[in-house]
Structure 1
Amino acid sequence: MHSALLRSLHSLPLPLLLSKRQLHFQARCSSSNSEELEPGSRGMELFSGLVGERVEELLRREENKALIEGLDEASRRVEKAREELKSVRKQRDEALKAREYMRQLESQQAEIEESQKELLEAKIMMEEAQKSLSSTFNAKTTGETSNNLERVESIKAAVISSTVGTLASLPISLSQATEFSELILHSSVVLISCALFGVTFRYAVRRDIDNIQLKTGTAGAFGFVKGLAGFEVANSLELSTDGLISSSVAGAISVAQNVFIFLFAAIALDFCFKMRFLSPFPIRD
């Protein structure tokens, strides 16, 4: 503020600034020999003192109070502007720090989301693996259970066929056997043959239980094979007309007897299929 007043005073003429008392003081100081100062130094000191007094006089005047107050107000505004500038800079720095912090948070959030995605994929893979293992185990268990059930049904078919076939063959065995051991042997052969026939009949007919040609054809095939095999063992072929006729009749009787036995076994199995006492192959769930 004083510097502004000094600049305004420098523009005024020097005589206006100097009063008579000040000029007298200047003359007296210049004539004094007690001070050993250079002329330039004494002039500067004199001028500074005069200017200071003039400034104080100007400051005490009423018309300069408004100027002084304006200067004070301007100074306060400058200080306030500086404070606001500092505050703005501080806020800018804080905003930059907050932006950097937000960027770090976003980066961490992206990493967390990526980790969660990987965990979800791993969880899905684990669930699929568990389902695969469970389905494999269930399929294996189901397959083993199904195989066991099929074996049970085959055993049932063998038991039914062998029982009915053996009972049907008893009249034939009693008519042909001369000894008890021969009866036991013939019945044992029929029992084993009919047991095999029962298992084969179940697998051959499967679920086509209404196909009469298939059922009778299976029984006829077993009867022909067993009848011809038994005839071959029990008889020898004679190369004569009577021998050929006799062998043919004996072979036909043997085949007919065995076909009769297997037909009874087939009828019993078919009846059990239709009564649901025996399940055709394969078993349905």
Structure 2
Amino acid sequence: MNDSSNFSTAERLESLKAGTLAALSLLLAFVLVAIANNIILPNWEALTRLQTTAIDLNLVVRCAIASISGFLFGVTYRYAIRRDTNPQLKAGVVLAFGLVRGLAQVDVELSGHTSILLAKNIGFYAALALESMLMFAIAAIVLDFTIQRHWIEPFNSN
């Protein structure tokens, strides 16, 4: 079994490439989702809180969080899938990251509120979780594409 001291420079570089690509993919997905929310969501009153109303420090911090999450996802995804083609493994990594990010957002929204608010806004909370899963799925598709073309090498488990 490899430990961190046995990882070659090439492995670390490939992980850096995977993390950077996933960070950029997640950031782009975040921006596209924000734009889509502003175009589509005015039609649904329950989801209007998902809209981005201004380019401010809050948005910059949210973009940074998306990028950091994407970087960690890319490194973990490359390590987890290695040369495995098991779709459940790939989906599991996407689901794990998407749910953690999405449910953390729900947790922040719910803090200090009653269960009545949860029932009233279930669509909003589901949209938060689904957005996160969608963004990580996009990053996984981009990583799979680049790994298949050997632009990023899969993790060597030897």
TM-score w.r.t. length of structure 2: 0.79
Q: Please name the residue that 2:44 is paired with.
A: none
Query: Match for residue 207 of structure 1?
Result: 83
2:109 equivalent to 1:234: yes
Hey, what does 1:248 align to over in structure 2?
122
How far apart, in 1, do the equivalents of 2:125 and 2:95 lie?
14
Which stretches of structure 1, 4 residues or longer, exceed 6 Å deviation after superposition? Answer: none
Quote the sequence identity (%).
36
Alignment of 1:113-192 (within 5 A): 147-174=8-35, 175=38, 176-180=51-55, 181-192=57-68
Contact persistence 1:162–1:194 (CA under 8 A): yes
What is the Cα deviation at residue 182 of structure 1? 2.2
Question: Is residue 173–residue 186 contact of structure 1 (8 Å, CA) maintained in 2?
Answer: no
Alignment pair present for 1:221 and 2:105: no
Find the aligned partners of 1:148 and 1:199 in 2 and give their Cα distance. Answer: 14
Task: Tell whether the 8 Å contact from 2:82 to 2:157 is kept in structure 1 after alignment.
Answer: no
CA deviation after TM superposition for structure 1 residue 283, in Å? 7.2
Q: State the shift of 1:200 in Å.
A: 0.4
Gaps of 5+ in 1: 1-142
Q: Distance in 2 between matches of 1:239 and 1:267?
A: 36
Write the distance in 2 (CA, Å) between the matches of 1:170 and 1:220. Answer: 20
Q: Using a 3 Å threshold, how does the CA distance of structure 1 residues 184 and 173 change in structure 2: closer, same or farther? A: farther
Question: Please, which moves more after superposition, 165-174 or 190-199?
Answer: 165-174
RMSD over aligned Cα atoms: 1.9
Distance 1:182 1:172 in 2: 16
Counterpart of 2:23, as a letter, is S
Q: 5 Å matches for 1:1-285?
A: 147-174=8-35, 175=38, 176-180=51-55, 181-208=57-84, 210-236=85-111, 237-240=113-116, 243-282=117-156
Say which SS state the counterpart of residue 224 (structure 1) adopts.
helix
Q: Partners of 2:150 and 2:115 in 1: how far apart?
A: 52
C-alpha displacement at 1:184, in angstroms?
Answer: 1.2
